[in-house]
C-alpha cells in the first residue's frame, strides 16, 4: 500500500500484469500519492499464452479502474501508457458517466466535464481466441439467471456457470441454486484494494459503481481462458430504464445491466476479438413479469433461490440465511411472482415472512408501482408498468381475495393504462442482440 495524502487532480492507470502461474491478473492505479492494486484470480489452467488473453486482461484493467477513480472523482482520467482506440474511448466515457451517474447524484457531483487523456491507438485487426466449448452464464442465483441457465442448457448441454466472489467468500444464496443446476461452475476471485473498505479513514467518496460492467469483462476473460464461445447475461428489459432523471439526465442504478452498456461493450469486444466470444443478454427483450412466469414453473429452485440483499452482506456474521422479508428487493420479488405462485407457496418461500402479508410495507410497494411520495428505490427492481400489472393479476387471484395490501395498491393504480397490460408486457419488448441459435430459448422466434 502506498502512502496516503491529499488526492491529486488526476486518476492514473499505471499497469496491468498477467501471472499464468497463479492464474491471476493484477491491475495498478494511482491518485496522487495513493496507489491501488486489484487482483482477479482465475486459478490454474486455461490458455494464458494467447494474444486474446492479454487483450482480455487489458479490458478488465480499463473497466475496473472506475472503482478507484470514484475515491475522489478528480477532473482528469489519465490512461498513462495505455493507448486506446476511438471505439474504446467512446465506450469508456459512457461507462464512467453513465455507470457513475448514481454515485455523482448522491455525492452532488457533475462528472460531465471529466477529461479523458492518453495516447491514441489505431484500430487493429481483431484477434480471435481459440474456441472449443459452449456458453458461460454469469450466475447470481436470482430468478433471472436461473431462467437463463435453464433456457440455454436445453440446446447447449455443455453450458457452464460463472461466479465471481471475494477471496475465500461463498454465498449460500448463489451456491445452493448453482448446485441444483448440476453444471460445471467456473470461478474467479476479485480482490479489491483494501483501502476501499476503509474509505472513511482515507476520506474517500463512497457510492455505487457499474459493477456488472466490471464483472462482464472478468467473465469474458474466463470465457477466453476456457475456450467458451459466448457470455450469456440475464439482464432484462427494465434494467435499461432510468431510476430517476436529474436536470434531464438519466440516473440508472442498473446502467451496466442496460442496453446502452451492452451495445457499447459488444462493439469493443467485436473490435478486439471478432465474433467470439459473443456477449449478449438472453432476457434483454423480456420483462421481469415474463421471467417470473417462467421461473414459477421451475419449482425445484423455489426453496433454494434468495434475492434478498441481506444474503450478500460482506460481513458473514451479519449475512442472513433467509429472506429478510422487508427490503425493496424482497418486496419486488414477492410482487412479481405473486401472479404466478399461490399465496401458500410464496409464504413457504419467505418462511412465513412474505412482504405482501405485512401491511407496514405498503409504502415500499407504492414506490414500486409509482404512487405516493416514495421514489423508485436504487435497487435492481423492475419497471413500474410491470409492477402495476403484477398487482392487478395477483389481486384477481382467488387465493388473494380481500387481500389488504394488494387491494389497496390496485385501488390506487386503477385500471390498466396503455403499456401496462399483461398481454403487452409478456410479449418481446424492445431491441436485443440475441443470436439466432439462442432466440428460441427466449421465445423470440
Q: pLDDT of 180-234, one tens digit each? A: 999 999 999 999 999 998 888 899 999 999 999 999 999 999 999 999 999 999 9
pTM equals: 0.95
- The CA-atom distances, in angstroms, between 261 and each of 55, 247, 254, 439 are 19, 22, 10, 21
End-to-end CA distance of the chain: 53
Helices 259-273 and 211-225: crossing angle in degrees, nearest 10, is 30
Instruction: Give pLDDT, residue 317.
Output: 64
Q: What is the mean pLDDT of the chain?
A: 92
- At 222, list the grid cell: 474466463
Altogether, the residues listed in the chain come to a count of 445
User: Is the separation of the CB atoms in 25 and 18 below 8 Å?
Assistant: yes
What domains sit in the chain, N to C, each tagged with a CATH number? 10-281 (3.40.50), 288-294+302-425 (no CATH)
Q: Which of 191-200, 207-216, 373-382, 431-440 has the lowest mean pLDDT?
A: 373-382
Share of the chain above pLDDT 90, in %: 79
Helix or strand holding residue 82 (H, E) = none
Q: Is the peptide bond before 219 cis (omega within 30 degrees of 0)?
A: no
User: Is the separation of the CB atoms in 17 and 75 below 8 Å?
Assistant: no
* pLDDT range class, residue 319, cuts 50, 70, 90: low
Instruction: Give pLDDT, residue 318.
Output: 63
Mean pLDDT along residues 297-319: 77
- The CA-atom distances, in angstroms, between 141 and each of 91, 176, 311 are 29, 8, 11
* pLDDT range class, residue 414, cuts 50, 70, 90: confident
Residue 3 has pLDDT above 70, yes or no: no
- At 9, list the grid cell: 487532480
Query: Is the Cα dihedral 66, 68, 74, 75 positive or negative?
Result: negative
Residue 216 in 3-state DSSP? helix
Short-list 154, 219, 148, CA closest to 177? 148
Amino acid at each position: 500500500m502506498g502512502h496516503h495524502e491529499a488526492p491529486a487532480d488526476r486518476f492514473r492507470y499505471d499497469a496491468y500484469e498477467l501471472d499464468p502461474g497463479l492464474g491471476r491478473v493484477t491491475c495498478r492505479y494511482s491518485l496522487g500519492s495513493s496507489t491501488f492494486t486489484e487482483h482477479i484470480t482465475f486459478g490454474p489452467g486455461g490458455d494464458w499464452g494467447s494474444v486474446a488473453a492479454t487483450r482480455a486482461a487489458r479490458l478488465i484493467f480499463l473497466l475496473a479502474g472506475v472503482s478507484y477513480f470514484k475515491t475522489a472523482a478528480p477532473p482528469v482520467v489519465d490512461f498513462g501508457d495505455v493507448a486506446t482506440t476511438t471505439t474504446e474511448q467512446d465506450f469508456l466515457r459512457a461507462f464512467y458517466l453513465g455507470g457513475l451517474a448514481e454515485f455523482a447524484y448522491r455525492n452532488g457531483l457533475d462528472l460531465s466535464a471529466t477529461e479523458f487523456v492518453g495516447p491514441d491507438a489505431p484500430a487493429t485487426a481483431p484477434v480471435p481466441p481459440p474456441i472449443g466449448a459452449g456458453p458461460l452464464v454469469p450466475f447470481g442465483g436470482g430468478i433471472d439467471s436461473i431462467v437463463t441457465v435453464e433456457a440455454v442448457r436445453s440446446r447447449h448441454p455443455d453450458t457452464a456457470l460463472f461466479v465471481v466472489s471475494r477471496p475465500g467468500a461463498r454465498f449460500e444464496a448463489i451456491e445452493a441454486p448453482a448446485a441444483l443446476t448440476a453444471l460445471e461452475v467456473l470461478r474467479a476471485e476479485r480482490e479489491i484494494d483494501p483501502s476501499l473498505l476503509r474509505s472513511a479513514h482515507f476520506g474517500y467518496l463512497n457510492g455505487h459503481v457499474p459493477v456488472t460492467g466490471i464483472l462482464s469483462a472478468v467473465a469474458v476473460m474466463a470465457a477466453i481462458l476456457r475456450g467458451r464461445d459466448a457470455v450469456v447475461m440475464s439482464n432484462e428489459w427494465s434494467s435499461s430504464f432510468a431510476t430517476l432523471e436529474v436536470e434531464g439526465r438519466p440516473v440508472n442504478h442498473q446502467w451496466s445491466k442496460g442496453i446502452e452498456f451492452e451495445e457499447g461493450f459488444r462493439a469493443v469486444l467485436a473490435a478486439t476479438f471478432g465474433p467470439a466470444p459473443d456477449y449478449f443478454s438472453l432476457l434483454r427483450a423480456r420483462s421481469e413479469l415474463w421471467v417470473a412466469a417462467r421461473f414459477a414453473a421451475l419449482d425445484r429452485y423455489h426453496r433454494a433461490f434468495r434475492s434478498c440483499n441481506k444474503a450478500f452482506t460482506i460481513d458473514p456474521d451479519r449475512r442472513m440465511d433467509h429472506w429478510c422479508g422487508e427490503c425493496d428487493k424482497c418486496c419486488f420479488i414477492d410482487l412479481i411472482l405473486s401472479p404466478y405462485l399461490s399465496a401458500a407457496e410464496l409464504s413457504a418461500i419467505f418462511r412465513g415472512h412474505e412482504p405482501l402479508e405485512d401491511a407496514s410495507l405498503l409504502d415500499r410497494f407504492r414506490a414500486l408501482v409509482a404512487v405516493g411520495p416514495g421514489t423508485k428505490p436504487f435497487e435492481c427492481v423492475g419497471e413500474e408498468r410491470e409492477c402495476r400489472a403484477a398487482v392487478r393479476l395477483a389481486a384477481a387471484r382467488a387465493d388473494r381475495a380481500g387481500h389488504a395490501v394488494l387491494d389497496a395498491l390496485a385501488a390506487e393504480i386503477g385500471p390498466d393504462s396503455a403499456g401496462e397490460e399483461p398481454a403487452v408486457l409478456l410479449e418481446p419488448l424492445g431491441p436485443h442482440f440475441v443470436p439466432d441459435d439462442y432466440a428460441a430459448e427466449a421465445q423470440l422466434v
